Amino acid sequence: MTDTPEPPGRGDAPIYLDNNATTPVDPRVVQAMLPFLTDCFGNPSSAHAYAREPRTALARAREQIAALVGADPREVVLTGSGSEANNLALRGAVLASAAGRRRVITQVTEHPAVLETCRALHRLHGVDVTCLPVDGEGLVDPADLAATLDERTAVVSVMAANNETGTLQPVAELARLAHDHGALFHCDAAQAAGKVPVDVRALGADLLTVVGHKMYAPKGVAALRVRAGVRLEPLVHGGGQEGGLRAGTENVALAVALGAAAELAAAELAEGGARRVEALRDRLHRSLTEALPGRVRLNGSVVHRLPGTLNVSVEGTTGHDLLAAVPQLAASTGSACHSGTHTPSPVLRAIGLDDPRALAAVRLSPGRWTTPADVDRAAGILAGAARSLATAGRAGAGSAAP
């Protein structure tokens, strides 16, 4: 991998610790896609010379994406988002399945792109949906899946890593159980791909979602790995692009961007990038716990989690108030898809947190350009704000009328 360039938007910008929500676009990715926004504008389906470079670029992008997840390039279906890829996987698998298979199994802490698709399948097509519980670390118990599977199950969908807590699921074991009952297995790897090793064959995932803006590509592009031989009903009908699964002229520039991002991520993983980010995460956690003794509690799994996800609750605060007090820092109180709300996160409730602890949670996710100085400064800023909020809260309680 070439030397990592300077990150976009540094200067006086807030410290960015929200890479689970979205990542900045890597300048190398921008350079790779620019020609396909200017000179290389041809339709890859055309027969003339202007189509040649776009068509070659699409093929190269599929190779790069496939290499990141251990797939065959012919299995890569380009989509406009992870939500679209998840919809294609679930809706496509159920509607193309045998008549007797009208059941989907997922789990309670899945992303809304999966949960809402399952609800729509139930509402519109009468599909049975089962949501498995998770334990206090956010993990699915394979025994629960084994007890739930039957011959009516069309597809099981369990994410590789949770977007709020970073919890890594036992995907390979879950997929094996699904296959034992003739069901397909879908894995939303939006948060995992490019951050930890992901291999579709080792995992046993027939369908796997990869998302560009979670790994330093622009928003608006994703991919679904569809194992050879798996039949899906298309979401979009038309000209037959993407193997007939997604009609519409391909966005070559974004496909190139996703391919370049996938290649950079694979190289970074090989060079120990995950260990570097994990060290930053642990440094941040350690600094916070030392600065706020007895007040910082980790949410999710201690061991089975992404290297770049730290979800903690700080006693005496709410996540919303804490982050509102630190404009020098960009982070999240939970899933970006729920930002703006002040109700406890369903994910944190599902792992057994009471409402005060769930409302006190903040998610801090370092990434490619986070430095040790960033996490040290962030810890100091957060600790100072937490102390101020706790003091104000005690003062307010003391002055309240009896």
- Show which residues are catalytic: 337
Quote the strand ranges of 19-135, DSSP E.
76-79, 103-107, 128-132
User: What's the rounded Cα separation, in Å, for the pair 139 and 133?
Assistant: 8
Longest dimension (CA), the chain: 83
Q: Does residue 7 come out as left (phi exceeding 0), alpha (psi in the -120 to 50 range) or beta?
A: beta
Spatial distance between the Cα atoms of 262 and 203, rounded to a whole number of angstroms: 18
Q: Any idea which residue has 């799994």 for tokens?
A: 301
Pairing state between β 103-107 and 153-157? parallel
The number of CA neighbours under 13 Å toward the Cβ of 394 is 7
Phi first, then psi, for residue 25 (nearest 5°) are: -80, 125
The gap from C-alpha 160 to its chain's centroid, in whole angstroms, comes to 8
Instruction: Determine the Cα–Cα distance for residues 349 and 357; give it in Å rounded to an integer.
Output: 9
Q: How far apart are CA 18 and CA 333, in angstroms?
A: 10
Token pair 């939006």 in the structure block, residue: 190
Token pair 């334990």 is at which residue? 135
How far from the centroid of its chain's Cα atoms is residue 34's Cα? 26
149, 124 in Cβ contact below 8 A?
no
Length of the chain: 402
- Bridge partners of 364? 310
Give CA–CA dist 386/185, Å, rounded. Answer: 43
Q: Using CA atoms, how far apart are residues 182 and 152, in angstroms rounded to an integer?
A: 9
Instruction: Give the tokens for residue 183.
Output: 């069901």
Both tokens of 189, joined, read: 């790897």
